[in-house]
Amino acid sequence: MQPSPATEGDAALDVDALLQGLAPEIKNYDLAGYTHFRTYDSEWNLNWKLGIDTFLESYHFGVLHKQSIHPILHRNVGAFDAFGENLSLLFARRSIAMLKDQPEAEWDLPKHLASVYILFPTTVLVRQGEHVELWHAFPRGVDAVQFRVTLLISEPAATEAAEAHWTKNLALLLKTVEEEDFPVREGIQQSFKSGDQPHITFGRNEPALHHFHRTVRKALNMPPAAGDSPQ
């Protein structure tokens, strides 16, 4: 079934076209079956792109998230795919090891992944475990951004135990991003202000960062960055 165009104000949105090929994969998650748990806003002294960058590689897990998500997720391994301007980046949860002992036909692979999607330019959809996080960046200046995260859960928190479970879940995600990622990013922003570092170089193990920043430049009609050689 073709999704019908949604409208916002006077503008018609063709959701399928905006997802640029991601629609079937996201449809698999059956987001309509999820329930809103909490929405949380915060403001940071950093450029919005630095905020998005934090979702786009995993080798920092073992250093920055040693106590929070590194025990749950493997670092420095992932699967990247571009979908037009959008992208997907799949990280493996440590629980994926248990699939070795199961016939492939029985694998419930998404359960063992943390799936990150950039819906270009400012939205990040993260699906992991039993929840979905929807992050929106609202740029407020060159070095100021508001981030809004909405936590969607797989079933309503109908009991006190469920409420406690999801509250703990939200606390872990806020700790990871708001106590670990974004404060470090604010430090990077401060360093950029000094002007001593005119550019940063992304490694070959950071395809999602390459794609995101190339796409930003293209959207702004800027030439490729110096030294960039798109594959």
Work out how close the CB of 28 gets to Fe ion at its nearest, in angstroms, rounded to a whole number: 25
C-alpha angle with apex 95: 91 to 96, nearest 5 degrees? 60
Taking the C-alpha atoms of residue 47 and residue 53, their distance in angstroms, rounded to an integer, is: 10
Q: How far is the CB of 166 from Fe ion (least distance, A)?
A: 21
Strand segments (E) across the chain: 6-8, 11-13, 35-44, 73-83, 86-93, 113-119, 123-128, 131-141, 144-153
In the list 181, 207, 211, 215, the residue contacting Fe ion (rule: CB under 5 A) is 181
Q: How far is the CB of 71 from Fe ion (least distance, A)?
A: 14
Report the residue number, 19 or 118, with the smaller CB distance to Fe ion: 118
Distance CA 169, CA 110 (A): 18
Q: 133 to each of 55, 114, 185, how far by Cα in Å? A: 12, 11, 20
The answer to the question of residue 133 lying near Fe ion (CB under 5 A) is no
Q: By C-beta, is 54 or 189 nearer to Fe ion?
A: 54
The distance of closest approach from Cβ of residue 143 to Fe ion in the complex, given in angstroms and rounded to an integer, is 19
Q: Which is nearer to Fe ion, 122 or 154 (CB)?
A: 122
Which residue lies nearest Fe ion, judged by its C-beta?
A: 181
CB of 48 to Fe ion, least distance (A): 16
| CA 74, chain centre distance (Å) | 16
CB of 119 to Fe ion, least distance (A): 19
User: Residues near 187 by Cβ (< 8 Å), separated by ≥ 6?
Assistant: none
Nearer to Fe ion among residue 34 and residue 48 (C-beta): 48
Site string for Fe ion, 37-66 (x = CB under 5 A): -----------------x------------
Q: Which amino acid is at 17?
A: A
One-letter amino acid for residue 29 of the chain: Y
CB of 60 to Fe ion, least distance (A): 6
Nearer to Fe ion, 19 or 64 (CB): 64
Name the residue nearer to Fe ion (CB basis): 54 or 115.
54
Q: Which is nearer to Fe ion, 35 or 205 (CB)?
A: 205
User: Count of residues binding Fe ion (CB under 5 A)?
Assistant: 2
* Backbone φ and ψ of 193, nearest 5°: -60, -25
Q: How many CB atoms lie within 10 A of CB 33?
A: 9
Would you state the torsion angle of the CA atoms of residues 68, 56, 32, 148, taken in this order, to the nearest 10 degrees? 70
Contact stretch for Fe ion (CB under 5 A) within 30-38, 77-85, 137-145, 173-181:
173-181
Hey, what amino acid is at 139?
Answer: P
Q: Which residues bind Fe ion (CB under 5 A)?
A: 54, 181
